[in-house]
Amino acid sequence: EDQVTQSPEALRLQEGESSSLNCSYTVSGLRGLFWYRQDPGKGPEFLFTLYSAGEEKEKERLKATLTKKESFLHITAPKPEDSATYLCAVQAANVYNFNKFYFGSGTKLNVKP
Amino acid sequence: GAVVSQHPSRVICKSGTSVKIECRSLDFQATTMFWYRQFPKQSLMLMATSNEGSKATYEQGVEKDKFLINHASLTLSTLTVTSAHPEDSSFYICSARGSSSLRAVGEQFFGPGTRLTVL
């Protein structure tokens, strides 16, 4: 069964304290892995797409990496405005619904000044 | 680019009434749109997938007669919650994927969500 697990569930950091969020996946063929940021009461905001193992993407203080089993979202020197819930989703090679995204439960990041 | 809007952002209705939520892709054509619901402190739950001009595909456990989805054009999909009850209160979010994705793989762009409260 296709499954996505994110850890930790919650993470508290001091401003400037770098860390990583994990997204582990079990899917029958990976079409794409996606990272989103969601602020309270808002829809998810797209961050990155990764398609194959070894791929990396960067945007400001965020860097996403991908292996055959998991993805990491590295946050370097975070600021309070990086506080949000980060969601990971995978699109699997599912012949019945190839459009479907499988979402993890998210990591709630809180960056203290 | 890739902006998706939803209307209304918040709605309060009485039990038994129907509520329509609109989802629009503002700067791209969306061949596929998705409807999710999200309960507090939980992740997104896919309700249905709709392709322009065809019937929506509902996820297991989602009542198609209660949650009516119409995707009449490449920029508009609507979700109608019929005979709403308090347990339907939730945060409903739509997303859209563009028609330019030839590999049928591509990011979904999300709307800002609609908070539905049924009294």
pLDDT digits (tens, 9 = 90+) for A47-73: 999 999 999 999 999 999 999 999 999
Of B57, B95, B106, the CB nearest to A97: B57
| Residue A110 or residue B40, greater confidence | A110
Task: Tell me the average pLDDT of chain A.
Answer: 93
Question: How would residue B100 be classed by pLDDT, with cut points 50, 70 and 90?
Answer: low
Percent of all residues in chain B with a pLDDT value above 70, rounded to a whole number: 93
Beta carbons of A51 and B105 less than 8 Å apart = yes
Q: Are B75 and A61 in contact (CB under 8 A)?
A: no
What are φ and ψ of residue B87, in 5° steps?
-70, -10
Q: Is the pLDDT of residue B103 over 70?
A: no
Q: Is the pLDDT of residue B1 over 70?
A: no
Q: Compute the C-alpha angle B12/B86/A106, nearest 5°.
A: 90
- Distance between CA atoms of residues B80 and B53, nearest Å: 17
Interface of A with B in 17-36 (CB under 8 A): 31-32, 34, 36
Give the DSSP letter string of A45-75.
Answer: EEEEEE-STT-EEEETTEEEEE-SSEEEEEE
Three-state secondary-structure class, residue B66: coil
Interface of A with B in 73-112 (CB under 8 A): 87, 89, 91, 97-101, 103-106
User: What are the pLDDT digits (tens) for A7-25?
Assistant: 999 999 999 999 999 999 9
